[in-house]
Structure 1
Amino acid sequence: FKAGMAKRALVIGTETLSRVIDIYDRDSMIFSDGAGATILEYKEVEEDGPGILASSVMSHCIDEAFYLYMGKSNFPDSDPRVRYIKMKGRKVYEYAMKHVPAAMKACIEKAGVEVGQVKKFFLHQANEKMDEGFIKALYRLYGMKEIPADIMPMSIHKLGNSSVATVPTLFDLVKRGILDEHQLHAGDVVMFASVGAGMNINAVCYRY
């Protein structure tokens, strides 16, 4: 948009993890297939009007690039030539807990809003305990211990971890009123945040 190459863009996130998971790996049970899409259009955001307020990105791609990799099956008699997606789970968890809250805070500050104004956090659906950790760590960065109720919708218990599709599908569930305890209202400030292979982190502040 800034380069003037397009005014409107279709952004798609889709994943078919069923093609690369190892059924003999216990971590594979949480993975799923999914897709999400949105159309973005460039325009100046009016004061208190809907739109993207700010974004924040972090990438660490040296040792971290190998936290997710393609490896052999856990089944000893499997074809040694076939590779499946594997994850150094502890490394991913430690990395995410260290960097995601900082990226979220940077995005909030860039947007010029207070953390208390953020009504919902739409986080990558990999691990509910980890997502709760992100929110608690973020609030601690602001010297706050109390976290508002119903601020973090979850869908992993319904849809699993569909990688890049988790955030758009979660947002769609809330937008359509399918998660009873979560609603959106015009003017609400929300945050989208994700972490994934690379390792890469993205955070976006958005006014609904």
Structure 2
Amino acid sequence: MALVGCGSAVPSASISNDQLSERVDTSDAWIRSRTGIAARRVAGPDEPLTAMATGAAAAALAHAGWEPQDLDLILLATSSPDDLFGTAPLVQGCLGAGNAVAFDLTAACSGFLFALITAGQYIASGAVRRALVIGADQLSRWVDWDDRSTCVLFGDGAGAVAVEACDAGSTGLLGFRMLSDGRRNGCLTLAQTQDHVPLLGGLTNQRGGFAAIHMNGQEVYKFAVREVPAVLGELLEATGTSADQLDWLLLHQANQRILDAVAERFAMPPERVLSNLAAYGNTSAATIPLMLDEAVRDGRVKPGHLLGSSGFGAGLSWGAALLRWSGPGTPAAG
């Protein structure tokens, strides 16, 4: 599977830390020192998740030089769909990708990485030749904007990567690991509301709805700084790769202190750790493709570069992948 195109889309409105401090008891210095975040994008009424995901997908298709009809598969990693029955088919329709099957995949902040690995398995089986993997979230609709422990963290955005079958020597997915631990699910949740209303007789039914995001920040931080270096280290060992062979660390953008801790573990200099957290905050499933697109477009990530990537978050779920960026024009398998 070669990684041959990327794209992204973010809302037009950006809320700075100083602006946020007008609503909750916080400050730019407090937020920056604890998270590294300076601002976050928040979707407006004319910027639903479907539009952001479609925009990122269209940009990735254009970058790869593909037409929508070239696609066989669209995977949308999201925890905040516009339609609980699935938003990927809406994106397929907006793109005009009539030959592609499309479905959602939910694994919170691990979602994009898990979806990319899933696309790789479809391609490896021969069932799919060209796929589009999208990570998109609009968590601003599920944030309690009066809770300073969570509202400072999250933003909205979308990113996408175009992948296609290729010869074994050109593969962009050199190895991966995925893990989950549901025993620690309560550390980070976007749970259903327990609103039961009379139905008939003595029966009730649960009215649909979700509570605001709840997070035990200390536990999530400890989980990430322990498990992310461990899973990346296991993957590097399994693939016979040393940390100094990596051109970049491409990690889920949750907290700059987590990025710094992982980099320190592998003795990676700060300039080789990709980070755009300051401008966007945690966009959940969108962070990795959004960061990749930015780094490809500005010339940091070049064809042939090797990236150690990790996604981690609610579930709890986490994983790692060893990726090689190919870029447009990669010869496909015959």
The TM-score bracket by the shorter chain reads 0.7 to 0.9
Aligned amino acid, residue 278 of structure 2: H
**1:25-52 C-alpha deviation (Å, 9 max, x unpaired):** 1121221111111222233331xx4511
Match of 1:20 among 121, 127, 142: 142
Larger radius of gyration: 2
Distance 1:43 1:112, change over 3 A: farther
1:82 to 1:96, Cα distance in 2 relative to 1, 3 A: closer
Q: Distance in 2 between matches of 1:70 and 1:185?
A: 37
Q: Paired residue for 1:175? A: 296
* SS class of match (1:105): helix
Post-superposition shift, 1:15?
A: 0.4
Q: Paired residue for 1:126, among 246, 254, 276?
A: 254
Percentage of matched positions with identical amino acids: 30
Aligned to 2:249, the other structure's residue is in SS state: strand
Query: How many correspondences in the alignment?
Result: 186
- Structure with higher RCO (Cα < 8 A, 6+ apart): 1
Match of 1:205 in 2: 322
**Unaligned stretches of 5+ in structure 1?**
73-80, 140-145
Q: Which residue of 2 aligns with 1:157?
A: 278
Equivalent residue runs for 1:2-151 within 5 Å: 2-26=124-148, 27-46=150-169, 49=170, 51-62=172-183, 64-70=184-190, 83-137=211-265, 139=266, 146-151=267-272
Tell me if the contact between 2:174 and 2:323 (Cα under 8 Å) persists in the aligned partners. yes
Secondary structure at the aligned position of 1:35 is classed as: strand
Q: What SS does the aligned partner of 1:108 have?
A: helix
- The one-letter code of the counterpart of 1:55 is F
Q: Match for residue 193 of structure 1?
A: 310
Judged with a 3 Å threshold, the aligned counterparts in structure 2 of structure 1 residues 198 and 175 are, in CA distance, closer, same or farther, namely: same
| Unmatched tracts of structure 2, length 5 or more | 1-121, 193-208, 326-334
In the alignment, is the contact (CA less than 8 A) between 2:247 and 2:305 conserved in 1? yes
* Contact 1:61–1:199, Cα closer than 8 Å, also in 2: yes
For 2:297 and 2:274, locate their aligned partners in 1 and report how far apart those are by CA, in whole Å.
Answer: 13
SS in 1 for 2:189: strand
Q: Name whichever structure is richer in helix by fraction.
A: 2
Contact (CA 8 Å) 1:97, 1:134: kept in 2 or not? yes
Partner of 1:76: none
Mapped to 2, the partners of 1:13 and 1:83 lie a distance apart of 22
RMSD: 2.1
Where in structure 1 do 4 or more consecutive aligned residues deviate above 6 Å?
Answer: none
- SS of match in other structure, 1:58: strand
User: Residue 197 of structure 1: CA displacement?
Assistant: 0.6
Deviations 1:64-102 (A, max 9, x none): 111112479xxxxxxxx8720110111111111221111
